[in-house]
Amino acid sequence: MTLETGLFAMEVPAKGATRGHVRFALRSTAPEEVGTVALCGLVASAVLFERLKAQWTQFVLALGDAPRLDVLARWEDDGLDLTWEPVVLEPGRMDDIAGRIRDKAFPVSSSAPPAPVDRQAVKEPSEDAPAGLADHDPSEGDDWRVKQLLRIP
């Protein structure tokens, strides 16, 4: 059985690792597309869990020359040993990798922080302004959030 889309080709291998082995051959390793395929893998995992009465399911993601995601239905004492030796990194390497991920995931804005608001100056509330916006001074700049709130009847 094979299902092909623009992101992946899903198949049930004839000689799978376990009963209920589903393989997704990825067409791209872009993070957004891998995430979408992983979401499809979650759906396959739920179906395997319910239909085959599996005790749990396991994902194996390989992003090498032939990128793929394998979803395996698992049972206790199924004889499948998927353990491996962890990679030992040299000191400081993990911090370097974490820093690069942090830089990509949480870009820091180069703009200056907003100026503090002078709360000493008390303004007379306008009768036409909505509650909470009576103290808005248009000379402070046009903030899109204030504009949106002023449009609300």
Give the start-to-end residue ranges of the domains of the chain.
2-76
Q: Which fold has domain 2-76?
A: HIT family, subunit A (3.30.428)
Looking at the DSSP bridge assignments, the partners of residue 71 are: 22, 59
Flag whether pLDDT at 127 surpasses 60: no
Helices and strands: H and E segment counts in the chain: 3, 5
Span 94-103, pLDDT tens digits? 888 888 888 7
Flag whether pLDDT at 7 surpasses 60: yes
Rounded distance between C-alpha atoms, residue 13 and residue 87, angstroms? 29
Read off the pLDDT band of 75 (50, 70, 90).
confident
Q: pTM for the complete prediction?
A: 0.53
Flag whether pLDDT at 108 surpasses 80: no
Across residues 15-43, what is the average pLDDT? 89
| 5 touches 25 (CB < 8 A) | no
Flag whether pLDDT at 88 surpasses 90: no
Read off the pLDDT band of 105 (50, 70, 90).
confident
